[in-house]
Amino acid sequence: MADTQDPRVAVYLDFDNIVISWYDRVHGRNAYGKDRQRIAENPHDPEVVERLKAAMIEVGAIIDYAASFGTLVLTRAYADWSSPVNAEYRSQLVARAVDLVQLFPAAAYAKNGADIRLAVDAVEDMFRLSDLTHVVLVAGDSDYVPLAQRCKRLGRYVIGVGVAGSTAKSLAAACDEFESYDSLPGVVRPSTTKVAAKVEPVAEAPKADAEADAEAEAPVKAKAPRTRAKKVAKPPEPDATVEQETTALTEQDEATLLLERALRLGHDKADADEWLHSSAVKTHMRRMDPSFSEKALGYRSFSDFLKSRDEITELEETGHERLVRLRER
């Protein structure tokens, strides 16, 4: 039976909101609005795929952050899952036991579709599940301010998560605690250099067209530039395969990343240099990934597991108490 003293957390994700906000954060202000029609009409276009991939949401980082507050009782994500943009996340969400709530757009842009359905479900859960202690709202719309205030009046601790620059200040103020998605452990912040590098090939395209038009008058010379243009377009393909190979992690690597993320979240809630109880760190790791087991990884105890990661951890054993903290790199 679950411990009644253990905090119990409900997570609600306005998935369209977080995806669109992060897309604009990566590619520039109102980028999704400009690309919306192109994405809907040709989602398999190489350039569209590349831009979507660059703005992928790290769902695990959000779920792990929510798990740092207590046991996850329910986790729901609201969106139109038939949309190609959202469909890419289905397997990732299902793997983290997230309930996918389907929203069929009644209008062109389904205005307030997720807002109203999410708010109704959240308020119903407040009365139906009296043991809920924390509510995590993953959104940035000011429409959620009344929901956050109602949850607080009903005695719940409200945590908001939103993308920096796309979150209403009123929503952050309405929450007991608010965290930017950009600062969550495991999230790679967008860099301006990457965006600039992707814009350059688009800017060069008109030059190639102009050269082709100018050379149309001289058919003999037209063949050489075209073959050169094809050679320039091929290099990105091997780079993409290399990136896919480097993302493959072993179970040991995944356990190391899980430990590092748990320690960072633990330090965020306390002082940066404060020692953490190893038992609390293990509990947090099990909340983030219930399948974690140091014995399955070949270690007799959790202390042995920590000692094997001495490149990122510092241990202190005083009597029966074992303390750990993240080593400064």
Q: Is the pLDDT of residue 204 over 50?
A: no
Averaged confidence pLDDT in the chain: 82
- State residue 112's pLDDT score: 55
- Going from the C-alpha of 13 to that of each of 5, 18, 97, 230, 241, the distances in angstroms are 26, 8, 13, 43, 32
Q: CB neighbours (10 Å) of residue 180?
A: 17
Cβ-contact 151, 131 below 8 angstroms? no
Distance between first and last Cα of the chain: 41
Is the pLDDT reported for residue 193 higher than 90? no
More confident residue, 107 or 15: 15
Compute the Cα dihedral for 140, 70, 126, 99 and give only its sign: positive
Q: What pLDDT score was predicted for residue 208? A: 47
- Note the pLDDT tens digit of each residue in 149-163: 999 999 999 999 999
pLDDT of residue 222: 41
Q: Which two tokens stand for residue 327?
A: 């080593």
Q: Which residue has the tokens 């949401």?
A: 57
Average pLDDT over residues 243-265: 81
φ, ψ dihedrals at 156, nearest 5°: -100, 150
Alpha helices in the chain (DSSP H): 15-27, 31-41, 46-54, 59-67, 84-87, 90-95, 113-128, 145-153, 169-174, 192-215, 219-233, 236-246, 251-269, 278-288, 302-307
The predicted-structure confidence for 235-244, as pLDDT tens digits, reads as follows: 445 444 444 4
Amino acid, single-letter form, for residue 23: Y
Tell which wins on pLDDT, 200 or 103: 103
Q: What is the pTM of this model?
A: 0.72
Question: What is the rounded CA–CA span in Å between residue 247 and residue 79?
Answer: 27
Banded pLDDT at 40 (limits 50, 70, 90): confident
Length of the chain equals: 329
pLDDT for residue 311 is more than 70: yes
